[in-house]
């Protein structure tokens, strides 16, 4: 798994590539935690080059969304979700909990 974090004025962009499983999910959670510990709660997660995400990854998403949405201070949005991962998010009932964008530009523009 490879994570790239870019801080913009109004939001943070996290791009994740490869495989999120129980071994790598803690790194993703740590990236999110660093951002929210910094008092920043508007995050876009770019997933176009993500091959695999287990429930450990879903856990990082739901925990971060809970922190971000508290006091209406922001939210985590998902960008360019691959088909198989979209099916997993759908089965877990996550689709109504996240705004989903096709590309980074519209995700960043949402904030």
Partner 1 sequence: MVTRSFPGRYDSLAQIGEFIRGITDKAGLNNFAAYTVEMAVDEACSNIIEHAYGAEDQGPITCTCKVNTKGLTIILEDRGRPFDPELVSEPDVTGELEDRPSHGLGLFFIRQWMDEVEFEFESGNGNRLTLYKKRTTASTKSTRQK
The interface mask with partner 1, positions 83-102, x = CB under 8 A, is xx-xxx-xxxx---x--x-x
Residue 56 makes contact with partner 1 by CB under 8 A: yes
Residue 60: closest CA among 99, 30, 29: 29
Instruction: For residues 25 and 61, give the distance between their C-alpha atoms in angstroms, rounded to a whole number.
Output: 10
- Return left, alpha or beta for 71; rule: phi > 0 is left, psi -120 to 50 is alpha, else beta: left
Quick one: which segment of 5-13, 14-22, 30-38, 103-111 binds partner 1 (CB under 8 A)? 14-22
What residues form DSSP beta bridges with 100?
Answer: 78
Binding site for partner 1 (CB under 8 A): 19, 21-23, 52, 54-56, 58-59, 62-63, 65-66, 69, 81, 83-84, 86-88, 90-93, 97, 100, 102
């Amino acid at each position: 798994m490879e994570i790239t974090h870019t801080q913009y004025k109004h939001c943070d962009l996290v791009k994740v590539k490869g495989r999120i499983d129980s071994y790598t999910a803690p790194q993703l959670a740590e990236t999110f935690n660093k951002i929210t510990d910094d008092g920043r709660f508007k995050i876009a997660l770019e997933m176009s080059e993500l091959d695999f995400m287990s429930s450990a990854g879903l856990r990082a998403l739901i925990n971060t969304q809970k922190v971000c949405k508290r006091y209406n201070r922001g939210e985590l949005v998902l960008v360019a979700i691959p088909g198989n991962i979209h099916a997993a998010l759908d089965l877990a009932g996550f689709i109504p909990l996240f705004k989903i964008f096709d590309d980074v530009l519209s995700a960043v523009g949402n904030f």
